[in-house]
Amino acid sequence: MNFLSTIFAQQDTTVNIQPEGFDVITGADLGSWISWFVTIILIVAGLLFFFMLVIGGIRWITSGGDKGSTESARNQITAALIGLIIVFAAWAIVSLLGNAFGIEIFNFTIPGLGSGGGGGTIS
């Protein structure tokens, strides 16, 4: 056996393709669905406004000095920047409220409800 075959023979051959904590299908509850939905909405909205910004920049570059095309591209860039600001502000507000009240909407855990946290149980 050569050196490389010895190294590869000692490697673990199992590959886990499911990331940790991503058991949306197997252990799904309402909290995980809400946090998954909010996260996906923020990601999609951010990507959408980013691509609108890029397309507006391309339209501005290819306008060829036409005043109407340049104005339209400028309006699209402005709308995309405002959209990005709104998405970032929504994420910041959700994070701030989560830190202030102890509710993590991206994990959707509420301290004090359940067996831990000193809040007792609800019967």
Q: What is the pLDDT of residue 16?
A: 55
- Taking a C-beta distance cutoff of 8 angstroms, is the pair 94, 38 a contact? yes
Q: What is the pLDDT of residue 10?
A: 57
**Residue 46 domain-assigned (yes or no):** yes
**Residue 14 domain-assigned (yes or no):** no
d(CA 49, CA 77): 9
Q: What is the pLDDT of residue 12?
A: 55
Task: Report pLDDT digits (tens) over 100-122.
Answer: 877 776 665 555 555 544 444 45
- Whether the CA torsion 116, 119, 120, 122 is positive or negative: it is negative
**Residue 96 domain-assigned (yes or no):** yes
Task: Report pLDDT digits (tens) over 58-106.
Answer: 999 999 889 999 999 999 999 999 988 998 898 888 888 878 877 776 6
Lowest average pLDDT, out of 22-31, 43-52, 53-62, goes to: 22-31
d(CA 113, CA 71): 54
Q: What is the pLDDT of residue 43?
A: 86
Q: Per-residue confidence at 41, pLDDT binned at 50, 70, 90?
A: confident
Task: Please tell me the total count of domains within the chain.
Answer: 1
**Residue 7 domain-assigned (yes or no):** no
**Residue 8 domain-assigned (yes or no):** no
79 is in which domain, residue-wise?
Answer: 29-108
- Taking a C-beta distance cutoff of 8 angstroms, is the pair 102, 110 a contact? yes
What is the pTM (predicted TM-score) of this model? 0.56
